[in-house]
Every structure is written in C-alpha cells, then in structure tokens.
Structure 1
Amino acid sequence: MEPIKRGLDQVLKFASVVLFALLVLVVVWQVFSRQVLNSPSAWTEELARYTFVWVGLFATALVFSERGHIAVDFVVTKFATGAQKVVAIVVQLSIILFALAVLVYGGLRAANGAWNQSLSALPTQVGVMYLAMPIVGVIITFYALYHLQAVLRNTEEAIAHDENPQVV
C-alpha cells in the first residue's frame, strides 16, 4: 500500500499545484479583462468557481494522506494507549463511511442528476464538474484504509501528533 500512497500523494500534489496556478491565472485574467479592458470574460467566473472546488477537494484529500485534518484530541490523549487505538479505529471507520456515503454515492448521484445540464459559459456539463466528489471520496477512502491498517498493525500511532505545534 505504501508505494500506491506515495504515488497518489505525488499526483495530488501535482494536481493541486496545477489547479491552483490555473485558478490564479483565471482570476487575474478575470480582473484584468473587467478593470483594464472594460470587457469582462464570461467564462472566467464559472471556470474559477469549479477550479476552486476541485483544488479544494484535491487538497483536502492530500491532507487526509498526512492525517493533517482537524482533530480535537485533547480528551483522547488522556486515554490509555488501547483506548486511543479504539478511538482511532472508530474515527477511520467513520471517515470511510462518510467518504463512501456522501462523497462517492452522493457525488455520483449529483453528477448523474446534472449530467445533461450544460454550463452557460463553458463547453461542458455540470455533471462533469461534480465528478470531483466521487473521485476524492475514493481517494479519501483509500487513505482512511491505509491509516486504519497502519494503526491496527502498530506501524502508526493511534493519535497523529503535530510535529510543529503552534501556540496561539
């Protein structure tokens, strides 16, 4: 599983950087065409919106790879090691359930329902844009399974510790 995870991490990093760069370029063009040329581009708003959603979802999946998502573990860190492991297992199973039910199943239903709806300014359908949800759902499920088996095999700590904690 480790080589697959590393490869998927690299793909997500690359996709996130490319999508973010595209988002910046599109928004810069949108502002430039509106403010300087006095002729706003109609397609930039839609492309920026959907690019933002895709980059946000892909970056979220990447955060799940690193177990960097928000976790309120103040109470759990006070538990015994065995109880921490049980909580970690329940958390990973909850993530899998959410990813499969909401992102994969719900995303496929949303994409299917919007498959025939055309975007007004882009040459594609809304359903294509919704495909980010099931794609990211499968990726998050993979990462949750990876972390679940790592916790069960004791190759990963039950509670992810921040290596650079910041005191606010």
Structure 2
Amino acid sequence: MPNCLPVSSVKLLLFPVAGLLLPACATTRPAAVQAPIRQVLTTQAAAWNRGDIPTFMEGYWRSDSLVFLGRRGPTYGWQQTLDNYRRSYPDATAMGQLAFSELRITPDGPQAAHVVGRWHLTRPTAGDVGGYFLLVFRQVNGQWVIVADHTN
C-alpha cells in the first residue's frame, strides 16, 4: 500500500459488517483515483483545444487557496490564475493545441493524488512550447480538482 503509515500510526476505520479493522488508506485503489483524474485532464485538454479557457479552468479548485507556480513565481487564487491564462493566451491561435503525455498519477490517499507529466502546445504561428508539470489533486465536494499546479 503506497503512502500508508504502519497500522499502529493511523486512525483505524471500523467496518462493523465485516468485523475488521483496517488502516484508513487500505481502501485506496489506484484505478479508483486515476480514472477520474485522467478524465479531468482529458476534459481540460479538449477545452483548451477549443480555445475555451473558462471550461479548462473547471479542472482547478475554485478557491483563493489554489496555487499555480510557474516561471514568474507563485499565483494564488482561482480568479488570478484565470486572469493570467487570459493575458498569456489572448486567443485560440496563441493557445494552440494542448497535449499531455507521460502521465504518472500517484494516489496519496483516498482523496488526494499527484500527477507528473509533460505538456506540449502545438502553435504553427507562435512556435511550439512545452515542459513538465506536477499537479496536486484533491477530491473536493465529490470532484477531483487541481489544488496546486507547478508547471514549467
């Protein structure tokens, strides 16, 4: 079990039907975390490729506590992140076509995970750009959202 503490160190969940005591992280199945996160990234790429930054931003936590760490340093807050995207990518031509690759999705518990991967923008007129990212996802109100994004 990745990222689980020894049984003596974790709070135990009581499953009265089965009469078992299990560590809280024992129920985390990688596929149960990976599939919805992969879907968030697929939806984001599709929105980006339509030139739709507001829908792309639905993958992020709509909170002042969202943090985006890029070349210019940290940006805090969903609205500020949206504003930065709009400034940096004023139209669909500047946005180009986004592709994610080399995704490694690692559950950090039943409601948290991190993703390491590559991004690439194909932009015929402005030139291609790309790099790597580390995303921290959390399940908030039943939805997986990015709460921290370190992209370079």
User: TM-score, normalised on structure 1?
Assistant: 0.27
User: TM-score, normalised on structure 2?
Assistant: 0.28
Larger helix share, 1 or 2: 1
Q: Which one has the largest radius of gyration?
A: 1
Larger strand share, 1 or 2: 2
